[in-house]
Amino acid sequence: MIKITENYQIGILEMDYVSKIQELEQGFGLAMAQASDLNKLEQVRQQYLGRSGLITEFVKIIKELSSEDKKSWGGEFNRLKIASEQSYQLRLQELQIAQKRQVELERASFDVTAYQVGRQFGSLHPCSLISAKIEDVFISMGYQIADGPEIETEFYNFEALNVAKDHPARDMQDTFWLNLPGYLLRTQTSNVQIHTMQNQQPPIAILAPGRVYRSESTDASHDFAFMQVEGLLVGRDISMANLLATMQVCLQAIFGQQRLEIRVRPGFFPFVEPGVEIDMECPFCKQGCSVCKRTRWIEICGAGLVHPNVLRAVGADPDEFSGFAFGLGLTRVVMLNYGINDIRLLHTNRVAFLQQF
């Protein structure tokens, strides 16, 4: 290594200025390239261009040169100084832009769901949980989820479902009538059947969970508003066997049982013919328990084959198409599934109750 600060060597070792300048430029360039952020770049700047930095110190030598050497080397020293300054500015800009981009990127990928200590989390309502479970079962069988209005006309809630004006079935369900003549709060999710069949040609496979209303006095097992799930399948050659198999698969999935027997009793619903009531084997006991009232069977759903009049009402030919429909008491399934003994708990919004799910 040449001691370039010692005067007597300067004149005879001109070539060493060239290599020293090269060495400084290369070292500075490499150090800047390796500086991955603004802090590291600042350290490099101080190391080379600071008050007693390597380049700063080297450039000072010029003062000690003879006037002849100053003439021949001045330009080179000056170029080193200016070029170092310029390349530093370039690298500085580069890193500033990169840092800005990084900040923008972090902002864009800000995770709003990230866990934060002390934050309270909500939970899904038990009706939403069971509804989603039933929807999953039917979506896996190719059904579509349908929705319908809760404020409904007499036509969709009764007439189109084969419940004529003087039909006693209108008394079976105590209806909330609205001040607007002919309008009511739907008493069943079956109105979705009619809306769907009016807008869609068979084959139809829909599942419609939703809230329904009955003008009833409330107690632990009755409420003026509760949830139902309506299912409808219309196509060619749809039979009672399809209905029973579908219901069995659905109930087994809801209650997480490999085998769950169902039994069928005749039932009357004006919009199906024949109509059936489906009971399921009690999923909670082997010998009888309080849930099944020691009978081993639980009433779970009303169903049947779609009445030809209903098909006609929506312009489908009953000779060509057939179908089944069922109405499952979603609220009842929720209560059975979680062992809830008072229906009113489901909409009192008590946090202590809801936090359990």
- H or E, element range at 28: helix 14-34
Closest approach, Cβ 298 to Zn ion, in A, equals 7
CB 304 within 8 A of CB 318: no
Does 289 contact Zn ion by CB under 5 A?
Answer: yes
Secondary structure of 292-327 as H, E, C letters: CCCCCEEEEEEEEEECHHHHHHCCCCCCCCEEEEEE
Crossing angle of helices 240-254 and 126-140, rounded to 10°: 130
Closest CB to Zn ion among residues 204, 292 = 292
Does 292 contact Zn ion by CB under 5 A?
Answer: yes
d(C-alpha 64, C-alpha 57), whole Å:
12
Closest CB to Zn ion among residues 61, 291 = 291
Contact region for Zn ion (CB under 5 A) — 1-9, 256-264, 283-291, 339-347?
283-291
Task: Report H helices in 141-167.
Answer: 154-157
Closest CB to Zn ion among residues 255, 321 = 255
Q: What Å distances lie between residue 292 and 61, 134, 155, CA to CA?
A: 102, 22, 37
CB 254 within 8 A of CB 133: yes
Closest approach, Cβ 257 to Zn ion, in A, equals 13
Query: What is the Cβ-side half-sphere exposure of residue 32, based on CA atoms within 13 angstroms?
Result: 22
Closest CB to Zn ion among residues 157, 252 = 252
Site string for Zn ion, 150-179 (x = CB under 5 A): ------------------------------
Contact region for Zn ion (CB under 5 A) — 81-89, 238-246, 290-298, 299-307?
290-298
Closest CB to Zn ion among residues 293, 312 = 293
Contact region for Zn ion (CB under 5 A) — 78-86, 97-105, 114-122, 287-295?
287-295
Contact region for Zn ion (CB under 5 A) — 98-106, 137-145, 161-169, 276-284?
276-284
Length of the chain: 357
**Cis peptide, bond prior to residue 274, ω within 30 of zero:** yes
Closest CB to Zn ion among residues 21, 292 = 292
Q: Which residue of 10, 192, 282, 316 would you call a contact of Zn ion, by CB under 5 A?
A: 282
Task: Report H helices in 109-234.
Answer: 126-140, 154-157, 169-172, 191-199
Does 132 contact Zn ion by CB under 5 A?
Answer: no
Contact region for Zn ion (CB under 5 A) — 265-273, 284-292, 326-334, 345-353?
284-292
CB 157 within 8 A of CB 186: yes
Closest approach, Cβ 216 to Zn ion, in A, equals 26
Give the interface with Zn ion as residue ranges (CB under 5 A).
Answer: 282, 284-285, 289, 291-292
